[in-house]
Structure 1
Amino acid sequence: MTPVLPFSAALFGFFRRFGSRSTGLAGVMALCVLFGLAGCGPKNITSSGEPFVVQGSGSGASIPSSGQKTGTVYLPADDGRPLSAAEKEAFLSVGELDRNLSQEDLGDVLLHFKYLVHEDRYTVEKNIERAQLYMPFIHETLRAKGLPRELAYIAFIESGYNPHATSRSGAAGMWQFISTTGKYYGMRQDWWMDERRDPYQSTRAAADYLDKLYKLFNDWNLAITAYNAGEGKIQRATAAAGTSDFFELRRRNTRIYSERDRLTDENKQYLPKFLAVCKIMRNLDKLGFSRMDLSRAPQLAEVRAKPGTDLKLFSSSLGLSWETFAAHNPAYQRYVSHPTRSTTIYVPRAEATRAQALLIKLPAVQPGTAYAGWKEYKVKRGDTMVAISRKTGVPVADLRRINQISEPLRAGATLKIPGTNRTGVDTRVALASAEKRSPSPKVPVAARPQNVAAPRPARTEAAASPLSHEVCKGDTMYSLARRYGVTQEAILAANGMKTPDLRLGQNLRIPAAGKAVAVAERPSVPAGRPAAVTSRGASRPETARASSDRVVQYTVQSGDTLWAIARKFNVSPVELLALNNMSRESSLRPGDTVKVAVN
């Protein structure tokens, strides 16, 4: 069948061919033919009152689009298959982020929708299976920041909810942060671990980044596109094109003088694909996909591991296979934790107390002693640190730090070599195998990893007052803002800084979100608050603190919770409860004072 042309396009073609010289019967006949063809097309269904054709008929299907070439890696071709009644209903459904779209705007969305529903159902099912492990935490994180719930589906496009995903450009993790952006949002990356692969830390960072992008553009279409293309590029492109509307920006793309500032094919299709995924994910039952079983989200707790912890020995002592441990902790790239700083480990919540006790008791690794996560290397005649580094893959600086040895090396000496974690563990397989080995009843979801009570390992960072901070290794403006509960902009303004660049040893003034005043002696506890108790019902003694800790008194602000205060000061919530003789049910009122042990 001849394709149906929009009336404006048909009229344009007519006048272009016949011009003002053509009049009379020839012109009338041409117009009649055009109107006749328009009446032969398939029936339209409507979205927001606008006609839109969703019934394909081979290559002649009338699908308004951006004009971008189809059948590419970025924009699939129309498969020619008509949508069923259920598929039409799902496609025309409207959520938080796909409102008020014209039929032209929806053209590319339809092509992505049809491809995923008809041709690539396997990918959708696979992503659903992984998504159910993290979706409760993602939704909770977005809700806490007041962001649209459907932003959770950005991770569908970025990685298919795979924490081990890595792009050709080096972006990593479930939310695909590049190295610089990851560091800006406090995710450390080194030979030992890559915190961009931590699904919980990266989710919080993604929420913060999306919130920043929306405040920058005041438009979700542009903010989502900027997540893919970069905020700088979208700022330059909208300025050059003279529009703040994404779909109008696509139409004006070729008018942008600088090719560097134009949207690529990938940039142009990122939002349409995302909107198609939103329509699918909100209609899984209707489209015949598996429903997400959110009760499968692992119930995890955070514990702290001291520097140089043998992770493989720890996991086996806890009764976890390495595959299960690695599935819960994809950020670790070695069988051993970082040798100079404490790190966070996620363990099953039911094992949290035992896990923290194990981490404290694990023996220090001695030269010449091989543990589960370590290997031995016998120094041969002529060996150098550089040569051993090439053989083992361990950086020279780390070899020297771990073994506390310098050159020349003595033949026959034994060096400790940290084993390399088998990255790329499929979380679904690891957790499924764990369920088969130790079945347990399903518990209502509370997917946020929680801290557990334990003496806090001494931190390597320099001591800092709540109102001033000396910059130390690993600090970023973002991590300091999160630590003290203020915005990055507030810290910049308080210090007269124009950029968030920091230098070691720099002293920063920290504007107070709520007053935190050092106290010389323990203040009295507000009356009426019960003492914290252990699971056995006995009163819990106050958690022991390192000698370098000091107690500060924090004045509760409106909206504060114990958990929020704990995050401001980077301490364990349970330790905070114990220090104040409070229980989880205790409530806070603005003006109350809370003791916090900082080091």
Structure 2
Amino acid sequence: MRKNTLSRFGPWIVVGLMIWGGSGAVAGAASLAAAVRPPADLTLCGEPVPWELADVRERFELEMLLSLDNRTQVVLWLKRAARYLPYITAELEKAGLPDDLKYLPIVESALRPHAGSRRGAMGYWQFMAGSGRNHGLTVDRFIDERRDLQASTAAALQYLQSLHEQFGSWTLALAAYNMGRNGLAAEMLEQESNNYYQLYLPLETQRFVFRMLAVKLIVGNPVAYGFDLAPEDLYPPRRFDTATIVLAREVPIRLVAEAAGTYFKRIKDLNPALRGHYLQEGRYDLHLPEGAADGFGERLRQVMAEDATKRPQRIYVVQPGDSLSVIAERFDLPLPALLIWNRIDLNKPIHPGDRLVLYPRWDDAGAAQWPADTFEEMED
């Protein structure tokens, strides 16, 4: 029994013993203290860290200790970094911006496209909706480019460059990125200081640059901190083809997936900016599985034409006393399906005379099945 437990949790126990064990807590504490000891020549975006200031080392060590304590999160940073940082690094180089900025989306979102904050920030770079729109991102009911790596990276680099031009240092630019340029400018004016490390700012912003420093050290040299991942442990960059299409009407994403020879989730994963279950009319540069772009437009037209006969719909005319849940029960359909098909919110009222799109369930032979007593309020 003990052997099985050790075989299951062995690597984590070894790490724990290395830090806290050995001849006792003193040896473990000494090892941990050495691990978080700051390099004297540490810089961020080429700007030195002023270790001579009283609290700077303490603030730095706090973020190092918190990061190293969350080893699961660090492993995920490293795995995702292999997927996303090569692209971000290349874009930084093209823009002539410091390479250290590649660590910002790790701090902001742990490199997760759907990461969201309580304040409404979203995506790899954690743009608020208004800030995203101000920097050219589409953010609406159907598209949220804050979740698109290419679009959001371009917007973030533009924003960071403008912040650096305004404040004259990268530490201040990063502080402004976190708390807003107007808020930082007000604090600098009131406190009569242009030194990030000496400013009293919102607590999250006071920690922000130190989180960047901790991520830089750990991700930049993971083996030094006990993270020795093999190449096969890392997540490879996503590979895809891109197809440009122009839609004259709304199209279900399930049909896009069918035309691409894949499944709904794959299309959503490759195109995280897409919201909901439908593409609206307009132009799209869709990421598709490798090899699926050739002839995609023609295949999509074909599956759209076939869908009308393969998946017959009916229109239900809402009757007095109806509710969405009553209609779903009557037609033996999941309530969420009604919301998806009709693009409505559960809390939105329906009224007599409204028309709802319904699709049938299917029997084992693949035939559409409608409840027998429901046709009097339905239209083809």
Q: Establish whether residue 306 from structure 1 lines up as the match of residue 246 from structure 2.
A: yes
Counterpart selection for 2:49 from 85, 89, 101: 101
Deviation at 1:328, TM superposition (A): 1.1
Query: Which aligned pairs between 1:251-270 and structure 2 lie closer than 5 A?
Result: 263-270=201-208
Change (3 A) 1:88 1:184: closer
Deviation at 1:282, TM superposition (A): 1.1
Give 1:525's aligned residue: none
User: Which one has more relative contact order, counting CA pairs under 8 Å at least 6 apart?
Assistant: 2
Partners of 1:187 and 1:195 within 8 A in 2: yes
Once the two structures are superposed, residues 479-518 of structure 1 have per-residue CA deviations (whole angstroms, 9 ceiling, x without a partner) of xxxxxxxxxxxxxxxxxxxxxxxxxxxxxxxxxxxxxxxx
1: CA distance, partners of 2:103 / 2:275: 27
Change (3 A) 1:268 1:89: closer
1: CA distance, partners of 2:341 / 2:139: 14
Counterpart selection for 1:167 from 105, 110, 117: 117
2: CA distance, partners of 1:311 / 1:222: 43
User: Where do 5+ consecutive residues of structure 2 fail to align?
Assistant: 1-18, 21-27, 328-334, 345-350, 360-380
Counterpart selection for 2:275 from 328, 333, 349: 333
Deviation at 1:292, TM superposition (A): 8.4
Deviation at 1:81, TM superposition (A): 2.7
Give 2:353's aligned residue: 409
Query: Which aligned pairs between 1:190-201 and structure 2 lie closer than 5 A?
Result: 190-201=140-151
Deviation at 1:185, TM superposition (A): 1.8
Once the two structures are superposed, residues 13-47 of structure 1 have per-residue CA deviations (whole angstroms, 9 ceiling, x without a partner) of xxxxxxxxxxxxxxxxxxxxxxxxxxxxxxxxxxx
Question: Higher Cα Rg: structure 1 or 2?
Answer: 1
Q: Establish whether residue 342 from structure 1 lines up as the match of residue 292 from structure 2.
A: no
Question: Which amino acid letter does the alignment assign opposite residue 208 of structure 1?
Answer: Q
1: CA distance, partners of 2:186 / 2:104: 23
Change (3 A) 1:113 1:195: same
SS at match of 1:302: strand
Question: Which amino acid letter does the alignment assign opposite residue 126 of structure 2?
Answer: Q
Once the two structures are superposed, residues 316-369 of structure 1 have per-residue CA deviations (whole angstroms, 9 ceiling, x without a partner) of 33232333222211111222112x322231123433224344345442588787
Deviation at 1:240, TM superposition (A): 1.4
Change (3 A) 1:210 1:172: same
2: CA distance, partners of 1:249 / 1:361: 62
Change (3 A) 1:369 1:320: closer
Partners of 1:193 and 1:331 within 8 A in 2: yes
Deviation at 1:285, TM superposition (A): 2.2
Question: Which amino acid letter does the alignment assign opposite residue 286 of structure 2?
Answer: I
Change (3 A) 1:107 1:297: same
2: CA distance, partners of 1:93 / 1:85: 18
Query: Which aligned pairs between 1:210-221 and structure 2 lie closer than 5 A?
Result: 210-221=160-171
Deviation at 1:135, TM superposition (A): 1.4
Give 1:116's aligned residue: 67
Partners of 2:125 and 2:153 within 8 A in 1: yes
Partners of 1:370 and 1:376 within 8 A in 2: no
Question: Which amino acid letter does the alignment assign opposite residue 322 of structure 1?
Answer: F
Change (3 A) 1:295 1:415: closer
Query: Which aligned pairs between 1:210-289 and structure 2 lie closer than 5 A?
Result: 210-250=160-200, 263-289=201-227
Partners of 2:43 and 2:49 within 8 A in 1: no
1: CA distance, partners of 2:302 / 2:40: 59
Deviation at 1:416, TM superposition (A): 6.5
Q: Which runs of 4+ in 1 moved over 6 A?
A: 365-369, 383-388
SS at match of 1:342: strand
2: CA distance, partners of 1:109 / 1:146: 27
Give 1:363's aligned residue: 304
Once the two structures are superposed, residues 372-410 of structure 1 have per-residue CA deviations (whole angstroms, 9 ceiling, x without a partner) of xxx86633323899999x9854799x67xxxxxxx9737
2: CA distance, partners of 1:183 / 1:139: 24
Change (3 A) 1:343 1:292: farther
Q: Establish whether residue 142 from structure 1 lines up as the match of residue 92 from structure 2.
A: yes
Counterpart selection for 1:352 from 293, 306, 319: 293
Let me know the Cα RMSD of the aligned residues: 3.6
Deviation at 1:272, TM superposition (A): 1.1
Deviation at 1:166, TM superposition (A): 1.1
Normalization by structure 1: what TM-score? 0.47
Give 2:377's aligned residue: none
2: CA distance, partners of 1:365 / 1:205: 40
SS at match of 2:287: strand
1: CA distance, partners of 2:241 / 2:34: 41
Partners of 1:97 and 1:275 within 8 A in 2: no
Give 1:444's aligned residue: none
Change (3 A) 1:99 1:239: same
1: CA distance, partners of 2:37 / 2:210: 18
Change (3 A) 1:96 1:164: same
SS at match of 2:294: helix
Partners of 2:77 and 2:219 within 8 A in 1: no
Deviation at 1:142, TM superposition (A): 1.2
Give 1:492's aligned residue: none
Q: Establish whether residue 316 from structure 1 lines up as the match of residue 258 from structure 2.
A: yes
Partners of 1:299 and 1:348 within 8 A in 2: yes
User: Where do 5+ consecutive residues of structure 1 fail to align?
Assistant: 1-55, 58-79, 251-262, 400-406, 418-599
1: CA distance, partners of 2:300 / 2:135: 28
2: CA distance, partners of 1:229 / 1:270: 10
Which range is displaced more, 190-199 or 140-149?
Answer: 190-199
Change (3 A) 1:342 1:384: farther
Q: Establish whether residue 208 from structure 1 lines up as the match of residue 158 from structure 2.
A: yes
SS at match of 2:286: strand
Once the two structures are superposed, residues 297-326 of structure 1 have per-residue CA deviations (whole angstroms, 9 ceiling, x without a partner) of 012233224332322122133232333222
Give 1:180's aligned residue: 130
Question: Which amino acid letter does the alignment assign opposite residue 35 of structure 2?
Answer: E
Partners of 2:240 and 2:288 within 8 A in 1: yes
Partners of 2:60 and 2:213 within 8 A in 1: yes
1: CA distance, partners of 2:204 / 2:324: 42
Give 1:439's aligned residue: none
Change (3 A) 1:292 1:347: farther
